[in-house]
Amino acid sequence: AGRIQKSREPKVVLSDKDHFMNAFDRIVKELVKDKEQHPKELLDYLDEMCRYNIPFGKLNRGLAVIQGVRSMRPALLKDDESFFRICALGWCIEFLQASFLVADDIMDESVTRRGQPCWYKLPGVQVKAVNDAMMLESLIFVVMKKYFNRHPKYVQLIELFHEMTYRTCKGQLWDMMTAPIGEVDLTKYTMERYQHIVKYKTAYYTFYLPVACALTMVGVEDSKQYKIAETICCEMGEFFQVQDDYLDCYADAKVLGKVGTDIQDNKCGWLVCQALLIANKSQLEVIHEHYGRHCEESISKIKELYVELNLEEMYKKYEEESYLKIKSLIEDKADRVSKGMYTWLLGKIYKREK
Amino acid sequence: AGRIQKSREPKVVLSDKDHFMNAFDRIVKELVKDKEQHPKELLDYLDEMCRYNIPFGKLNRGLAVIQGVRSMRPALLKDDESFFRICALGWCIEFLQASFLVADDIMDESVTRRGQPCWYKLPGVQVKAVNDAMMLESLIFVVMKKYFNRHPKYVQLIELFHEMTYRTCKGQLWDMMTAPIGEVDLTKYTMERYQHIVKYKTAYYTFYLPVACALTMVGVEDSKQYKIAETICCEMGEFFQVQDDYLDCYADAKVLGKVGTDIQDNKCGWLVCQALLIANKSQLEVIHEHYGRHCEESISKIKELYVELNLEEMYKKYEEESYLKIKSLIEDKADRVSKGMYTWLLGKIYKREK
Ligand SMILES: [Mg+2]
Ligand SMILES: [Mg+2]
Ligand SMILES: [Mg+2]
Ligand SMILES: [Mg+2]
Ligand SMILES: [Mg+2]
Ligand SMILES: [Mg+2]
């Protein structure tokens, strides 16, 4: 009996996150075992580039694919290889995100990301980061081909990633055209523009993409279901970005993991768009004089104005209303099978503090 | 009879280049008529970005697709829509090239390209160029989906572009790891490394991609034919890049359309690799002291050394040998159908002066 006891492996229950992280390691190892003959130095750089930029943050985008499949067709997670493939698809989204973040940090001239130096700031990287952003995007399709090339939805998945990449690029472009570095033109900061930017630069790849991946994997073919997903996900995406903008100014820096800089960086965020909408003439002057400046005095002036305008309260009201709106969208539009996935996603973002 | 005469359209014979340019106009117009609702300002930027960066240079990559189809299965060019589709595929290669050039100019800190300022240097562009490079890549697949989505080789074409993009990214990375800006380490400049860089950063997308596109369009399915194409095209690619490096130093600037700067930019080019291979001890010292420096004296010292080492003659010899090697590769390996295409390509580059 002792022997039998000994030969039994202790039963370790892995969480989705554990499975997901293990899959990352396998994916990168297999990427670096390139079928092409490349010098070790090149492959080491690739490995480092992936590990520095991809497996960080909350990973909610990738995990949402697993969660979506779990709530719609859990049988797909029973078999190890099938579970791995769902993880790989989730990682494709995180590769895309990494590609956009590497590029975004260069364009925004950012210094840190997730508490460490931005990739392009590393002495061994610098301008190569531009190529790395393109490489990260390429890697999506290397991964996709490796693990999905015989999957019946292979083409649909590829087209989905292409389309989301294109939309995100357009969102980034519109964001930068609205708020160019070193140029303050607040007449462009309208709520309408804000909503358009946010939908394209954030909502599609952050919410619609994981949801559409999950729908595709579980075999949903009805285009109506994808339209509904788009409606719900774009609402969530706006909600998520408004929170992001609010947290940038009001969150505890220790919890958030960074000190917000949207005010001095002249960002077209929800707070300033809201302020411009309700400010009186003298308050408008304060905004025009102090927004987008780096001195402490200007930052304080803007923060004081936000207090004067009760923006924190307006945000709470927006959050509550938006939450209810999304809840009822889910109630009204989502079918029985997908409801759980949307509710899980909403739960992930509602009242978040980071 | 006079009337009939009058109503007859004068028969204008369009060259491949004319067809190709007309197709560009249609493609961009249809891209900008986005099914998504976007502000006019955004679409105007897209339009300008495409027109500034894509339809320039010799367009040999795109035209090679037409030429390949013409020599292997001319019937595909009889019908207007079918001809247009071949052109669109050719433009996909030019979009990819534009994406790489926009990114390359940022990374190389270049100032001009084809006699006009580099895209990222324009006051209205700047850092947005990073996003534009990614957007140009995205556009390939928008074009591909629009015109090939029901084509039996749709997936094969997409995978081909993915693979070539990935290989070019790896070539660019290896190039920059070999010759980082502002850092001179000539021990890395070996012929072996040079050949690897050139194959990946140039040969695949410049020669193999158009040839593989043409083979795919005319219905070649035998993987052996693609292997042969790879062998021939990688040889041509090396030949082409060696010429490029030679012309950078020795061509008439007026014919070339630019003043070469490889010496001062510390490029890992054929001439310096060759020089390092044959120089004696004191000549090596000259290279180490003067290569990669911007002062006129250093540039002259390197050019004098090149004369001393007879590099121009060595190049002529290389050109002749490489030409013969490629010719016999074509003779020996290419089948009857594809021979014409390879010969046309070789003719385009042999003894070129720009
Ligand atoms: Mg940013
Ligand atoms: Mg940004
Ligand atoms: Mg933010
Ligand atoms: Mg360059
Ligand atoms: Mg370069
Ligand atoms: Mg050159």
Q: Look up residue B63 and give its two tokens.
A: 């035209």
pLDDT at B171 over 60: yes
Query: In the structure, what pLDDT confidence band is assigned to residue A221 with cuts at 50, 70 and 90?
Result: very high
Binary contact (B42, A177; C-beta < 8 A): yes
Those residues of chain A whose CB sits closer than 8 Å to some CB in chain B are 36, 38-39, 41-42, 45-46, 99, 103, 106-107, 109, 126-128, 130-135, 137-139, 141-142, 145, 154-155, 158-159, 162, 165-167, 169-170, 172-174, 176-177, 180-181, 196
Taking the CA of B201 as reference, the closest ligand is 5
Q: What is the pLDDT of residue A1?
A: 43
Binary contact (B137, A134; C-beta < 8 A): yes
Burial of B3 (0-12, 13-18, 19+ CB in 10 A): exposed
Q: What is the pLDDT of residue B254?
A: 85
Closest CA relative to residue A65, chosen from A198, A205, A262, A162: A205
Percent of chain B with pLDDT over 90: 87
A-chain CB neighbours of B130 within 8 Å are 103, 106-107, 130, 133
Report d(CA B264, CA B291) in Å as an integer: 7
A-chain CB neighbours of B180 within 8 Å are 126
Query: In the structure, what pLDDT confidence band is assigned to residue B6 with cuts at 50, 70 and 90?
Result: low
DSSP assignment string, B124-136:
TTTTHHHHHHHHH
Q: Which helix (H) or strand (E) holds B112?
A: strand B112-113
| Min Cα–Cα distance to chain B from A13, Å | 37
A157 → chain B, closest CA residue: B155
Query: In the structure, what pLDDT confidence band is assigned to residue A195 with cuts at 50, 70 and 90?
Result: very high
| Min Cα–Cα distance to chain A from B50, Å | 14
Q: What is the pLDDT of residue B2?
A: 44
CB distance B344 to B71 below 8 Å = yes
Binary contact (A135, B36; C-beta < 8 A): no
Report d(CA A209, CA A160) in Å as an integer: 8
A-chain CB neighbours of B132 within 8 Å are 173
| Pick from B135, B138, B169: CB nearest A131 | B169
Q: What is the pLDDT of residue A8?
A: 58
A-chain CB neighbours of B197 within 8 Å are none
Binary contact (B167, A36; C-beta < 8 A): yes
B-chain CB neighbours of A170 within 8 Å are 36, 38, 42, 135
Q: Look up residue A63 and give its two tokens.
A: 């995990």
Q: Averaging pLDDT over each range in A56-60, A213-217, B182-186, which range is the top one?
A: A213-217
CB within 8 A of B255, min separation 6: which ones? B353, B354
| Pick from B134, B177, B180: CB nearest A41 | B177
CB distance B203 to B237 below 8 Å = yes
A-chain CB neighbours of B46 within 8 Å are 173
Closest CA relative to residue B132, chosen from B35, B27, B54: B54
CB distance A125 to A102 below 8 Å = no
Q: pLDDT (tens digit, 9 = 90+) per residue, A94-126?
A: 999 999 999 999 999 999 898 899 999 999 999
Report the complex ipTM.
0.94
- Judged by average pLDDT, the poorest of B163-172, B174-183, B223-232 is B174-183
Phi and psi dihedrals of B92, rounded to 5?
-55, -40
Query: In the structure, what pLDDT confidence band is assigned to residue B1 with cuts at 50, 70 and 90?
Result: very low
* Optimal mutation site among A170, A193, A227, A268, interface B, most CBs of chain B within 10 A: A170
What's this model's pTM, rounded to 2 decimal places? 0.95
A45 half-sphere exposure, CB direction, 13 A CA radius: 25
Q: List b or e across B73-110, with b for residues whose CB sees 16 or more CB atoms inside 10 angstroms.
A: eeebbeeeeebbbbbbbbbbbbbbbbbbbbbbbbbbeb
- Judged by average pLDDT, the poorest of A40-49, B136-145, B258-267, B312-321 is B258-267
B-chain CB neighbours of A180 within 8 Å are 126
Ligand 5: distance of its center to the CA of A125 in Å? 15
Q: pLDDT (tens digit, 9 = 90+) per residue, B43-85?
A: 999 999 999 999 988 999 999 999 999 999 999 999 999 999 9
| Min Cα–Cα distance to chain A from B305, Å | 31
Q: What is the mean pLDDT of chain A?
A: 94
A-chain CB neighbours of B31 within 8 Å are none
| Pick from B130, B154, B196: CB nearest A130 | B130
Report d(CA A340, CA A285) in Å as an integer: 47
Number of neighbouring beta carbons within 10 Å of residue B184: 14
3-class DSSP assignment, residue B113: strand
Taking the CA of A105 as reference, the closest ligand is 1
Q: What is the β-pairing status of strands B112-113 and B116-117?
A: antiparallel
Place of tokens 């290989």: B167
Taking the CA of A175 as reference, the closest ligand is 2
